[in-house]
Amino acid sequence: MARRTRVKICGITRLQDAHLAQELGVDSLGFVFVPASARHVIAEDAAVIVNQLSPFVTPVGLFLNPTVEEVQHALNLMPSMVPQFHGQESGEFCDQFGRPYLKAIGVGAGKPMPEESELRAFGQAIGFLFDSNEPGQLGGTGHAFDWARLGEKMHKPLILAGGLNVHNVAQAIKQVAPFAVDVSSGVEQAKGIKDSEAMHAFMAAVRHADEQVLE
């Protein structure tokens, strides 16, 4: 069976960018619910976009040390949304919403990789996203980290983020073989504003890399 690397484009703020991503075959779109981020959207605006997506494109909501009410409000508006937690949230906090979620792991600033036992605390996580930001902060920095630090395969799907773009995503797929890649700044013309040519090129690079892995 052919291997296919899934793609998530994060930092969506405009409907036209979401529509193009969907046309290009993107698997997931990320919406940032963190007011301090330049890519921030409010849940109501994200819902307008999500309600026009294909049922086969998964919306993901990014949170950073949110309140229970903030998360629940977004989930009530967008029942199909998968939460993605970027802060110091505990496994108990993340599990309480009774649905699958992603846990982001910041490995910037020399932060050591978490032990397997630490990751197992997030019982309902359906995957772990490794990013180049400092622990407890959002990604979207445009900088990559040393992928060799990831080491052995994990017990759940690995999503690779941090500084990915058309120039390095093929090497990332070859070296890490992630379940999915997550791109934000690498397909932007400005923060929160996607670049159509960059999106086309990134998707083409991912598909080409998958084909090369099979050769």
Q: Known catalytic residues?
A: 10, 131
Specify whether the CB–CB gap between 101 and 125 falls below 8 A: yes
Rounded distance between C-alpha atoms, residue 24 and residue 103, angstroms = 26
Specify whether the CB–CB gap between 61 and 55 falls below 8 A: no
Task: Report strand pairing: 188-190 vs 193-194.
Answer: antiparallel
* Structural element, H or E, at residue 44: helix 43-50
Specify whether the CB–CB gap between 4 and 209 falls below 8 A: no
